[in-house]
Amino acid sequence: MNKSFLLEIGTEELPPTQIDGLVASLAFNLEENLKKAGLPFGTITTFSSPRRLAVLIEKVANQQPERLVELRGPSISIAFDKNNQPTNAAIKFAATCQVEVSKLKRIEDKKGIFLFHQTNRPGKKTEELLPEIIVNSIKKLPMRKSMLWGANNHEPFIRPVHWITVIFGYETVNVEIFGIKSSNKTYGHRFLYPRAITIIDPKQYEKLLAEKGWVIANAQQRKQNIHKQIMALTKDEVAIVPEDLLAETTNLVEWPVALVGTFNEKFLKIPYEILVTTLKNQQRCFPIADEAGELLPRFVIISNITSKSPSQVISGNEKVINARLTDAEYFYQSDLRNKLANNLPKLKSISFQEKLGSLYDKTIRLKTLATFVASEIKADPTHTKRAAELSKCDLVTSMVWEFPELQGIMGYYYTTMSEDQGVAIAIKEHYYPRFSKDILPSTLSGCALALADRIDNLVGLFSIDKAPSGDKDPFGLRRAANGIIRIVLEKNFDLDLKTILEKSCLTYKGIIKNHKEITAKILDFIYERLRHFYLEQNKDANIFRAVLIGAPTNLLDFTQRFAAIETFIQQPEASNLIENYKRVRNILDKAQYSDKTIFNPKLITETAERNLADQIKTESETIQNLYKNKQYSRLLLELVKLKQPLSDFFDKVMVMTNNKRVCNNRLALLKSLQNLFVLIADLSYLLSGDKTSAH
């Protein structure tokens, strides 16, 4: 018989940004523990709100299935004495198995002969197993910070817990955790229905809370409800609904009610981003714009209560918003009284990193590196250099001090007052992309500065052993590497990363000694990020390995080689050609061939040998020219012409002949062939069969 199982943890208000992860982990932990216990189950549904984490699991088996238990006892030499009488070891083992010694079987393996018992044991009832399953599932929840409260001084949780609801079928499962005994009761909305609600059937949980407790327990439904209300209130306008704000607001309310407020029109003179950030971050409100995208002096509030006097709720929010905007206006106007360039000396007092100097030091490095990158990608060097010089100056402004997320944006607005527009845009865009799907810098100067900023971070932090480890990346270096990859590839920049990294090392005057080692580590790191980038697109990992073996330093060139090989291996001749080349590589590897031997045509003794040598000589110049011009697809097709002479060579010529001079000459011939095959990539990796990993 199967039953539904419900677990709910009722708490003080939870951190909104952590709720989704917590309830997902709770469901996952319960699922894993049920599997471990051998209990079959059906659909899993999660519920969450600011005051609760809940999981409903349907069709949970009433009892574990019967299990086959196998027990191995002591060896025969220990189990029986010289007279073949059972010793205490045998008697104790038999007692454990609940049988007579005579009923025990014997099993033999490499270590000898042992007593053995096999029996079927009935499974435990689910009610007996659930308490331990629940406790273990809760204890393994990922919590950044936890706390103790009241009499509970030994079981920390992310927030104080007020109730635990545990029901299996129609019965309460007795569990005690956080000093609280479980029950079949949940609680409604803190203000609209703060009383207990008895749950008879777990499957009625969601419906009971909605109809009686004024709680929409399903987070996805609550999110959709909020969005629908916002759209209904702004149907003749355009509501600005950022996904992150919508998600956070969903986890701040249990019974959402959307209302519209207004603010003083004078604040519309403040830059767009300041208004949106103030409304979004300070009061969790949704801005409203007209059809042209211009902000209106209106916003949507999501209240957590159905008020008898909604005008008071609106009025309270309007007072707070107007006060916040007054502060923002003051900060902005105060910053405008001072030229952005005047902030440059102030950066000397702000640490970039303890061992890497100040933000001023970083700025000096950026001027040099960004200007070099600009020359490589044909960006305006004057704009780039000036943008680098001013790029961090907005970090000491009042506006960015209050709203750190406006870094770069405020630099843009303050720069437009006294500098060229191209400089201002580069300052704003050098933080792009800020996340995986974010936009890229629109100007070449912005790209140059964005690349220089990320490379400076990588070089500096790798040099003091601050590279990411496991899932820890406190300095966002993986994100920096991903940004470099996207900018280079999507903008088609033909850049040698090794050269740029070495230039960056030199800007850390005297700080970095081991330039080559740091450069090599960062290149490996960037290509590891590229591997993940390719795997996300289901690209062939064998091709990635084949190209990577040549230690490339140009991302764009890497992708061009990859694309050429990707097309080439679809050709019918490719498979046979690659197999024959693998034979070439294997022969050279086993022979430990020395590059000092030069192929001598006079030592040719076989027709097939001469045909191969002639074909290599004919194709070499063509292939080398194609390689220099990066015409990789044509190069690979040119290699196909070597397929037949190479196949004939292996059919008719013995490479490892007893004549040492002839043998070495044939190895030299194969080496000259190999040199052509590894120009783009090591093609021998292409038929390894493993397409799941690029390592």
User: What local confidence, expressed as pLDDT, does residue 570 receive?
Assistant: 87
Q: If pLDDT is split at 50, 70 and 90, which confidence band does 487 have?
A: very high
Mean pLDDT of 254-270: 96
**Amino acid of residue 201:** D
Q: If pLDDT is split at 50, 70 and 90, which confidence band does 688 have?
A: low
User: What local confidence, expressed as pLDDT, does residue 652 receive?
Assistant: 92
User: What local confidence, expressed as pLDDT, does residue 41 receive?
Assistant: 95
Mean pLDDT of 548-572: 92
The rounded distance, in Å, linking the Cα atoms of 373 and 446 is 11
User: In this structure, which topology does domain 344-538 adopt according to CATH?
Assistant: Hypothetical protein af1432 (1.10.3210)
User: What local confidence, expressed as pLDDT, does residue 109 receive?
Assistant: 86
User: What local confidence, expressed as pLDDT, does residue 598 receive?
Assistant: 86
Q: Residue 290 pLDDT > 70, yes or no?
A: yes
Residues 448-476 have pLDDT tens digits of 999 999 999 999 999 999 999 888 899 99
Do 456 and 362 meet the contact criterion of CB atoms below 8 Å apart? Answer: yes
Mean pLDDT of 564-585: 88
Listing DSSP states for 452-484 in one string gives HHHHHHHHHHHHTT---BTTB-TT-HHHHHHHH
Instruction: Provide the residue ranges of all domains of the chain, joining segments of one domain with +.
Output: 2-64+126-211, 71-121, 219-336, 344-538, 560-687
Q: Residue 429 pLDDT > 80, yes or no?
A: yes
Q: Read off φ and ψ for residue 148, nearest 5 degrees.
A: -110, 155
Write out the two tokens for 90.
């045998």
Residues 6+ apart with CB under 8 A from 598: 668
80 secondary structure, DSSP code: B
Q: Residue 422 pLDDT > 60, yes or no?
A: yes
Residues 75-92 have pLDDT tens digits of 998 999 988 999 999 999
Q: For residue 164, how far is the Cα from the chain centroid?
A: 34
Percent of the chain with pLDDT over 70: 98
Mean pLDDT of 3-9: 97
């603010």: which residue's tokens? 263
Do 131 and 174 meet the contact criterion of CB atoms below 8 Å apart? Answer: yes
List alpha helices for 37-122, DSSP H: 76-79, 88-97
**pTM, two decimal places:** 0.81
- Provide the total of helices (H) and of strands (E) in the chain, helices listed first: 26, 20
User: In this structure, which topology does domain 2-64+126-211 adopt according to CATH?
Assistant: Alpha-Beta Plaits (3.30.70)
User: What local confidence, expressed as pLDDT, does residue 286 receive?
Assistant: 97
Q: Residue 560 pLDDT > 90, yes or no?
A: yes
Cβ neighbours of 290 (radius 10 Å): 11
Cα-based angle 592, 595, 599 (whole degrees, multiple of 5) = 110
The rounded distance, in Å, linking the Cα atoms of 51 and 38 is 32
List alpha helices for 104-143, DSSP H: 126-139
User: What local confidence, expressed as pLDDT, does residue 517 receive?
Assistant: 94
The rounded distance, in Å, linking the Cα atoms of 215 and 196 is 13
Residues 6+ apart with CB under 8 A from 38: 64, 65, 67, 123
526-535 long-range contacts (CB < 8 A, ≥24 apart) are: 526/458, 526/481, 526/484, 526/485, 526/497, 526/555, 527/552, 527/558, 529/478, 529/481, 529/482, 529/485, 530/485, 530/555, 530/558, 531/694, 531/695, 533/482, 533/485, 534/562, 534/694, 535/693, 535/694
**Amino acid of residue 332:** Y
User: What local confidence, expressed as pLDDT, does residue 695 receive?
Assistant: 34
User: What local confidence, expressed as pLDDT, does residue 8 receive?
Assistant: 98
Do 411 and 457 meet the contact criterion of CB atoms below 8 Å apart? Answer: no
Mean pLDDT of 633-647: 91
Better pLDDT: 556 or 152: 556
Mean pLDDT of 604-633: 93
Mean pLDDT of 30-42: 94
The rounded distance, in Å, linking the Cα atoms of 383 and 426 is 8
**Amino acid of residue 87:** T
Q: Residue 594 pLDDT > 80, yes or no?
A: no
Q: Would 344-538 and 560-687 be classified into the same CATH topology?
A: no
User: What local confidence, expressed as pLDDT, does residue 612 receive?
Assistant: 94
User: What pairs with residue 286 in β-bridges?
Assistant: 300
Nearest to 281 by CA among 238, 343, 324: 324
Q: Read off φ and ψ for residue 492, nearest 5 degrees.
A: 55, 50
Q: How high does pLDDT run on average in the chain?
A: 93
User: What local confidence, expressed as pLDDT, does residue 153 receive?
Assistant: 75
Mean pLDDT of 625-644: 92
Do 591 and 597 meet the contact criterion of CB atoms below 8 Å apart? Answer: no
Q: If pLDDT is split at 50, 70 and 90, which confidence band does 691 have?
A: very low
Cβ neighbours of 185 (radius 10 Å): 17
Mean pLDDT of 29-49: 96
Residues 6+ apart with CB under 8 A from 586: none
Q: Residue 692 pLDDT > 60, yes or no?
A: no
Q: Residue 592 pLDDT > 80, yes or no?
A: no
Residues 6+ apart with CB under 8 A from 522: 458, 459, 462, 501
Cβ neighbours of 478 (radius 10 Å): 15
SS percent in the chain: helix, strand, coil, step 5: 55, 15, 30
User: In this structure, which topology does domain 560-687 adopt according to CATH?
Assistant: Isoleucyl-tRNA Synthetase; Domain 1 (1.10.730)
Lowest-pLDDT range of 439-448, 480-489, 684-693: 684-693
User: What local confidence, expressed as pLDDT, does residue 693 receive?
Assistant: 37
User: What local confidence, expressed as pLDDT, does residue 111 receive?
Assistant: 84
Alpha-carbon distances of 16 from 51, 284, 518, rounded to whole Å:
10, 12, 40
Label residue 602 exposed, middle or buried (CB < 10 Å: 0-12, 13-18, 19+): exposed
3-class DSSP state of 236:
coil
Nearest to 250 by CA among 283, 280, 225, 278: 225
